Structure 1
Amino acid sequence: MGRQTYLIRRGGAYSARLRVPLDLIEAVGRKELVKALGTNDPAEAKRLVWAVVDGWQRQFDALRNRAEMTDGDKGELVWSHYSGTLERDEVRRANTPQQADVDQALERAVERVGREGLDIHDPLQMLDAVMDADVMKNRRSGSGSVDAHVRQTKLADLRKHLATGENALVRHEIEAYLKQRNLTIDAVDRGELSRQLIRAEIEALQRTLERDDGNYGGEPADRLIKGLSGRVGAAKGESIEEVFEVFAAENVSGVAPDRINQMRRDIELFSQVAGKGFSVGQIDKKLVREWKALLIKFPVKATEMLAFKGMELREIVAANEKLKKKVLSDRSVNRYLSSLSALCKWLVNNGYLESNPVTGMSLAKEHNSTTLPFTTDQLNTLFNSPLFTGCQSADVWSLMAKEGNVLIRDHRYWVPLIMLFSGARPAEIGQLMLADVREEHGRWIMHITTEGDGDKRTKTKGSMRVVPIHPMLVRLGLIGYHAAQVKAGEARLFPKAVRNARGQMMAEFSREFSRYLTRIGIKEGRGISLYSFRHGVTDALRRAGYLDEQFGLILGHTQGTTTGRYGVMAHGVLEQRATLIDAIDYPGLDLGHLRDARRLLLASNLLKPQP
């Protein structure tokens, strides 16, 4: 379509115009779209028109990417129409004035007559005084009968429509549901669904009339609605949202709060496909398969993009067909699936499901997606780079990566080194209190635990452990740094290491460190990250002849113990762990310059230390 056809001029003002594609005319309900731009300036109109046309094109893309409405979708809509009618009736009844409300309003009217000296023979003055009481009285005595008449009239109309095939009273419900979930339905199924919705409302209105007589025990007589009550919509306490909170509170695996919060966000995304209030007992492979198919097309950080603001999962995926934003990796899709799988495993154990529908649904692992350890050359490049030897700016170190006279010696310097010689996770190191680093039986140790002051977390209960400090860290000055923090009156070893808005420790540094690795030429694509240090420790201990099960306790891969929590350890056990830590070695790695260069440069006042 030519550019000039997007603009039309009516009465001096411009409007945007777009012809609806032939295949979408039925869905849109018109052959042409027109929207006033509110300007008579041609230049301004040309600027404004493209945003309007782009919005229409997105709508077209969304319509073309609609999924076919399933039987499950139809059942959910019919049941929600039935239950929603009853819920609205209950709200109306709850808001009906009680006799006590009428009495209080009359008392206030009498007080006002006496207080203001109103003439009781003046109809206008008295009408004004008793207005509130009169309205309440009418609502209480008259609204019930009036409302009942309205419901009886609508019930009669619905029965006529059911007989004739008219769908005017329920058409808007179907259209709203289809739009919200980006679904489509053919004309035959639409007609049948309309009849089902009418049957649902007939049943619901009959229940409301029974309630007028004080009967709240009525059950659906229509077999369609009666059948849905057992399989669509969750009983109280059995919706996905409600049951997840029970799962999170129990936390039988003892996972970290950060992970629980991430799982909650993942399950909320799943609920956008299943439907709000969906029963956990109805989660099946078909639903999981549908979710996975959408996740594969889901843009990275979609919820943070203005382009997708206000959209849900299906709408975002449809909009991205045109925007072409980068989508989730297979690894990220699997992470979403693992969140649902953990919930479903708990559902099986607690009798909600017979089997885990997520089993076998994961995507094949991406080629070269596994985190790799650093090579010796990469380690030497890293530890000879500006972050460790002196940079131009402590604020933009990851972007500039240029040599200078600013010496960084906070968590950004120490966390990589501590990971290199302990295998500890970055968040575990970042949250260490000064009391967690201490001398036991003549050996300095790190106590990784949730005990003590502060908002401390570990991945699992087994992650709480005692890790001896490697001799190289002592030689590099970690104990001296610890003493300096004690002298400064700090409570934490790394006071500048903070949690982000989602409560994650070291998340920002982890991202910056990956960027830094790219800047200095170590990182290309996936594979290398802050966690590469942890994998390097595993390889170092294997080189030293240890089996994985022998050093799992060092990495926090064991069951929780009181030793891990409170850090009380016998001398012999500590010696065994010290032997493991001392075996961590990287042939060809030279860190002598960190200690020597620091001492020489500080002595010559060429470096500005950053505490």
Structure 2
Amino acid sequence: MSKLPDYLTKHPKSGIWYARRRVPRDVAGVIGRDEFSKSLETRDERLARKKVRAVLVGWDREIEEARRKPDLSTADVETLARYYYHQQEQADLAERDKRPLAAQKDAWMEEAVGRLAVRPRQSGANVDPSKALDLMLDEISNLDLSNMAQDHRRIRLSELRAHLARREYALIAHEAEHLIESQSLPITRYNPLNPDEVSEEFIKLCDRLMRAEIELLERQNERDQGDFGGGPRDPMLRKGNTKLDLTSFSDIIDEQEKRSRRGLGRTKSESTFRKYRTITKEFVEWRKNPRAATVTKEEVERWRDELIDNDFATKTVRDKVSCIKSVLNWGQSQSSEKLFPAGVPLDGFELPELEERDSAERTYTVAQAERVLIAARAQEASYKRWVPWMLAYSGARVREILQLTKEDFFQIGQDWFYHIRHGGDRTTKTKTSRTVPVHPALVDEGLINFVDSRPGVRYSPTRVWTVTSATG
């Protein structure tokens, strides 16, 4: 057989063949690891050589996609740039609506000139120059200065273009810092590891904000000429979120738990929410980012593959990935589909198939069931005596049987029933109550006689089962 390729290795203990490959440095940060690794699930070298080809093709595709897709921080700052552009655009349109009409401007100008001429005469010949200046500024502030603003915008537009071309961001740094502060963004101007160096995130934010302001000034100049139909030419501003969503997995689960308590949607137990918190915490620690809006399909695929490679059971992998998908769907619903404008990234996500097992492998045989029930007859504790028999003849769950009180049993004609309730301190998996008939075999066994012998207070019911004896 030919020389073993570098990407094929054999586990020294199990003998299982693995595919391994270094992740190129330029995409390691996006992919989230330095090395690919995948079990080929065989000890046969020939079969391993065949199976590894498909694995390598998949890795090549992942590397190509990582090089094509912008990193998350870029997507975030472009969202901020769109937010900045739309906020400033709305402010500009609102300011134009408040401008005076042409006839009003002329009348105001004449009145202002008249007031400036009269006030010095009224105050006497000796007028304090500083007071005269204040009077003049008061009048100017009441005038429409839109023409002066037009000149200012033309100058600023020219300067911004020149600065953007040479990557000089002093003209926009103040707006970037204000945006960071007002939005409580996790961005710092200077590199925490090197205070003399501007951080990459801040540079990127300034760059995108400068592009956004250039577009804004172009739209304002067009409106100054009566053209209100223009739109941004920069692809970054044409579509996408206009608000950076910092919602975390924990935020989504907390909100869903509140809705569940209010009876909105399908209710879930506290234990279910605890499980979801545990799984999402694992995922957050793996991806090193708590934000839900930044999750991608490729990222979850990598996590799924790592779980499989680390020999997690198929059902465990399905449960973990399904949990992430459920939480993202909750977040999408809670945000009125604004969390993922293009749709939840895990729609149609492929999960590992569960191996179908014969139910006979997981259930009691008749002989085993007989041994359990016969042994129960000799038990002293009442719950050990009767709960196995009720489980065998009802299909109810252990917790549901243990919650029964004497008042839950009732008779209609010759038949006996018991009520499995939900509410208060009593719960069922389906969150609903139901009535179950008492099987004739249980009547013959003496269950009803036992229940009748139990103490019961109508307004303060007690559990049927105790840990004392089968008869008391």
Normalising by the residue count of structure 2, what TM-score does the alignment of the two structures yield?
0.45
Normalising by the residue count of structure 1, what TM-score does the alignment of the two structures yield?
0.36
